[in-house]
Amino acid sequence: MAVPTLRMIGFPMVALATLALAACVGPQATAATIDVGLTVDGDAIEVSIPAGSTVQFALDQGGISLGELDRVDPPGYTVVTDGTEIEITRRVERFEIEERVLPFSRQTIRNEGLPEGQTRLLQAGSNGLEEITFRIVDEEGDEVSRKPVKRTVVIEPLPEILMIGAQAAHTPLGIQGTLAYLSGGNAWVIEGNSANRRPVVVSGDLDGQVFRLSPDSKWLLYTRSLDEEGDDFNSLWVVDVDNEQARPVDLEVRNIVHFADWAPNSDSPVLAYSSAEPRPSAPGWQANNDLILVNLSSAGRVLRERELLPPNAGGQYGWWGTSFAWAPDGVHIGYARADSVGLIDSRDPFFEPLHEIVPLLTGSDWAWVPGVAWGPNSRTLYVVDHAPPLGIEDAAASPAFNLVAIPGPGESPLPLVTETGMFAYPSSSPAKLVASGEIASQVAFLQALSPLQSEASSYRLTVMDRDGSNLRALFPKAGEPGIAQNELSPPTWSPGGGRLAIIYRGDVWIVDVASGTGQQLTGDGLTIALDWKP
């Protein structure tokens, strides 16, 4: 009888277990889907995606790939809802090159070789050509953006240059050798006669930092100012003076402040220069105080560069810079900086001090560097020396400056003229044989009219024998205005040594050494540099 009892108990237990399991699983359901629309490439597509999906998921489901520039609205990270419309805009980038004409400019220059009122076409103008590369963006086949990304000047425009006569009523004067001068940003030369002058460089941007004829007058070395777009402030160029059709040559040298000049006694064109680095603060540069030797080809191209002196501190106030001067032998180079003068042998180059100088305390953003000049023997250096104080002022503040001669290495300076002024700029004449059979020379310099206030004084051209004797004031005459501060530069001797060229009142003047008579050669008042070679 026990068996039926067990069957009755087992049935309810199985049923209860089944109900409990069903309660744990719970009801089953399918995730909701939504429909979104896609507009792409002119077609409308509808895709079904799970609710809560993003635009990017919808694009992936629709098999749509995007280009780098394609635009999607709404953005790919946006969560969509049922019925959202997604628009894909195809964008394509392309480049086009257009040629555009660069019109030539017109320039006029005054020429004192032409009578007043006459004109002459010096150079016919011609248009240039520029290639402009545009970046173009198309949307759905329509151009929506065009921007220039590159400009290349294929042909430089050539300016039209019209010469306008401005001949002044000056008596023609014979000119020995070649006299070059810089007026109004252009370079001119006079040969044979003061009425015979012609332009050599007419770019209008010569800055006068360098303006030097080669020893044979064939080449002109000069600097041009650069535009304000870059950091560099000028560039070094040469031009063949003898060839009127020659084009100037850019030596690819930048930022010249104190020195660049031709080497004497060289069979081929050789020059040296010292460079600087541009700076935004006054004075606008940081001098390198280096010295580079450059050999040129017969066409004026750079063949070789050699570093004689590497960049260096340049002594006290070296940021202002070092000036250099070739000796006539073409081997030795004199140097001057704020605290010393000395020489350099180009065959074994190093700074060899000859005389220490007390640096002038200017109290401003410039430094005084003494003027130096070689005698024709390539041994004597004529130097403007900062003299000891006259009162109780500090030595660095002394207002006195003397002209001295340094006979050579190891020898003491010989006093020649006291209280010349700081900008005396000595210049030695060519050597010549005098009646006694002696080889003689003279020294020209600028004498301050107010020697103890020489920083602001005007000056007078003065000459003496090489030993300081026969001192004579030449030009201008007593009572006439002196040579102004902005015209101060070393007097330039004629090849024969009988005349001197200076800048006075903005014009070129020739002064006869024997009589002191001066004659004006130019009349535009724009001259800032000159040179005179055989």
- Asked whether residue 46 is domain-assigned, the answer is yes
Nearest to 151 by CA among 136, 134, 131: 131
Q: Are 72 and 105 in a shared domain?
A: no
- Could you tell me which residues come within 8 angstroms of residue 457 by beta carbon, excluding any fewer than 6 positions away? 421, 448, 449, 450, 451, 482, 485
Same domain, 80 and 100: no
Q: How many CB atoms lie within 10 A of CB 99?
A: 9
Domain co-membership, 106 together with 148: yes
Please report whether residue 69 resides in a domain.
Answer: yes
Whole-angstrom distance, CA of residue 38 vs CA of residue 65: 12
Residue 149 covered by a domain? yes
What is the pTM for the complete model shown? Answer: 0.73
Tens of pLDDT along 276-295? Answer: 999 999 999 999 999 999 99
Q: What is the pLDDT of residue 352?
A: 96
R_g over Cα of the chain: 41
Distance CA 492, CA 178 (A): 12
Residues sharing a CB contact under 8 Å with residue 29, sequence separation 6 or more, in sequence order: none
Task: Lay out the sheet containing 401-406: strands in order across.
Answer: 372-374, 381-386, 401-406, 414-417
Note whether 66 and 80 are same-domain residues: yes
Cα-based torsion angle of the residue sequence 334, 250, 243, 121 in order, rounded to the nearest 10 degrees: -120
pLDDT of residue 31: 56
DSSP state of 224: E
pLDDT at 25: 43
The answer for residues whose C-beta is within 8 angstroms of residue 65's C-beta and 6 or more apart is: none
Q: Where among 155, 170, 202 does a domain terminate?
A: 155
Question: 71 in a domain, yes or no?
Answer: yes
Domain-located, residue 145: yes
Q: 221: which residues sit within 8 A by CB, 6+ positions away?
A: 210, 211, 212, 213, 214, 236, 237, 238, 260, 261, 262, 271
Structural domain includes residue 431 = no
Which range of residues forms the domain containing residue 44?
A: 33-89
In Å, how far from its chain's centre is CA 230? Answer: 9
Same domain, 79 and 127: no
239 three-state secondary structure:
strand
Give tens-digit pLDDT for 94-104: 999 999 999 99
The span from the CA of 110 to the CA of 120, in Å, is: 10
Q: What is the CATH number of the domain that holds 40?
A: 3.10.20.90
The Cα–Cα gap between 503 and 527 comes to: 7
Q: Determine the distance from the C-alpha atom of residue 472 to the mean position of all C-alpha atoms in its chain, rounded to a whole number.
A: 40
Output the pLDDT for position 437.
77
**Angle value at C-alpha 365, between 361 and 371, nearest 5 degrees:** 60
Residue 511 resides in a domain: no
Could you give the number of structural domains in the chain?
A: 2
Say if residues 222 and 206 touch (Cβ distance below 8 Å): yes
Taking the C-alpha atoms of residue 86 and residue 366, their distance in angstroms, rounded to an integer, is 69
pLDDT tens-digit profile of 454-506?
A: 999 999 999 999 999 999 999 999 999 999 999 999 999 999 999 999 999 99
pLDDT tens per residue, the chain (534 residues)?
A: 344 333 333 434 434 344 344 444 443 434 589 999 999 988 898 999 999 899 999 999 989 989 889 999 999 899 999 999 999 999 999 999 999 999 998 888 776 666 677 787 878 889 999 999 999 999 888 899 999 999 999 998 988 888 777 666 667 899 999 999 999 999 999 999 998 889 999 988 999 999 999 999 999 999 999 976 778 999 999 999 999 889 999 999 999 999 999 999 899 999 999 999 999 999 999 999 999 999 999 999 999 999 999 999 999 999 999 999 999 999 999 999 999 999 999 999 999 999 999 999 999 999 999 999 999 999 999 999 999 999 999 999 999 999 999 999 999 999 999 999 999 999 999 998 877 778 899 999 999 999 999 999 999 999 999 999 999 999 999 999 999 999 999 999 999 999 999 999 999 999 999 999 999 999 889 999 999 999
Which one of 116, 136, 155 terminates a domain? 155
Whether 113 is in a domain gets the answer yes
Give phi and psi for 498, each to the nearest 5.
Answer: -95, -10
**70 shares a domain with 49:** yes
**CA nearest 378: which of 429, 425, 328, 326?**
328
Measure the CA dihedral 443/446/451/453, to 10°.
-150
pLDDT at 115: 67
* Three-state SS at 485: helix
Q: What are phi and psi of 65, to 5 degrees?
A: -105, 145
pLDDT score, position 17 = 42
CA atoms in the 13 A half-sphere facing the CB of 182: 22
CA distance 143 to 117: 56
Q: Tell me the two tokens of residue 263.
A: 């080497």
Same domain, 101 and 48: no
110 plus 141 within the same structural domain = yes
**Final residue before a domain boundary, out of 45, 64, 89:** 89
State the pLDDT at residue 507: 95
Query: Given the DSSP bridges, would you call strands 340-345 and 332-337 parallel, antiparallel or unpaired?
Result: antiparallel
Shared-domain flag, residues 102 and 79: no
Distance of CA 271 to the CA centre of its chain: 18
Q: What is the CATH number of the domain that holds 134?
A: 2.20.230.10
**Residue type present at position 195:** A
Residue with structure tokens 């077609």? 43
Confidence (pLDDT) at 524: 86
Distance of CA 367 to the CA centre of its chain: 21
CA-nearest of 529, 484, 491, 523 to 507 is 523
| CA–CA separation, 492 and 508 (whole Å) | 11
